[in-house]
Structure 1
Amino acid sequence: MSEQHPGAQPPPRHELRDISFRAVMAGGLAIGLAVGGLVVVADMLFPQKSLDRLLKPPFPVIAEPRLQSDPAADMAAFAAHERDILNSSGWTDRDRGIGHIPIAQAMQDIADEGIPGWPTGEGVSP
């Protein structure tokens, strides 16, 4: 047996095993189950909220409205254009042979010639 000198320190010692592999795996499994359980609970409380945000933007994408700067002037220009078409002659579809004539002339032609196959009203007693 060796003698210890007064004031001498005992020889250093250390643990041979710090932590067991089973404890690490059990802790990891417990944390994983807890996180998974919280995800399931959150999904039950807020169904499809997180998935919806991932798949589409939080608000519908709507095109900006094309506003009229002067609606009265736009309407006046539209009415003038339509009036010009009604009072002029020209091609509507040249390839198919469709044209138009002034409305006053068209009404006079109908009054003079009638509409083919349209009942004339003759022989009807009042």
Structure 2
Amino acid sequence: MSDHRPDPRPSHHETRDISLRAVMAGGLAIGLAVGGLVMVADVLFPQKSLDRLLKPPFPVIAEPRLQSDPAADMAAFAAREESALNGFGWTDAGSGIGHIPIDQAMGEIAREGIPGWPAGERISP
């Protein structure tokens, strides 16, 4: 049998695993390669640089038109809608299509029904 004794030397890391010099050289090589590729791409595709010089980097968009008085605009809209609901007028005069007040139209529909509409229970006014 052999006598197995521990190594009397203190245990340290292996110095042969990685070298700081190799890491630095690899990083420098990668940096130079990327920089060189950027320059080659700029030489091969110069239009991108030319576009930046000739045009602004963003499109010029017109400003939106804002309402100066939203409450007055809403009141005018409501008045137009109310007038259309409660008045007589032409929707398409050329075709002979007009409109009547909503209360009158609802009364006529309640009395006469809608042509072609399935018959159902009628509620007398």
In 2: Cα distance, 1:53 partner to 1:96 partner: 57
Counterpart for residue 107 of structure 1: 106
SS at match of 1:118: coil
For residues 9-51 of structure 1, give each alpha carbon's deviation from its aligned partner in whole angstroms, at most 9, with x where no partner exists: xxxxxxxxxxxxxxxxxxxxxxxxxxxx99953527x986324
Counterpart for residue 84 of structure 1: 83
Counterpart for residue 75 of structure 1: 74
Unaligned runs of 5+ in 2: 1-35
- Which has the greater radius of gyration? 1
Counterpart for residue 119 of structure 2: 120
SS at match of 2:59: coil
Structure 2 residue 65 is matched with structure 1 residue 93: no
Aligned pairs (5 A) from 1:1-126: 40-41=39-40, 43=42, 49-53=48-52, 56-121=55-120
SS at match of 1:95: helix
CA distance 1:116–1:51, shift in 2 (3 Å):
farther
For residues 66-112 of structure 1, give each alpha carbon's deviation from its aligned partner in whole angstroms, at most 9, with x where no partner exists: 00111111111101111011111111111111111111111111001
Structure 1 stretches of 4+ with a deviation exceeding 3 A read 37-40, 46-49, 54-57
Identity %: 81
Task: Give the length in aligned residue pairs.
Answer: 85
Q: As a proportion of its length, which structure holds more helix?
A: 2
Unaligned runs of 5+ in 1: 1-36
State TM-score, norm by structure 2: 0.56
Counterpart for residue 26 of structure 1: none
State TM-score, norm by structure 1: 0.55
Cα RMSD for the two superposed structures:
3.1
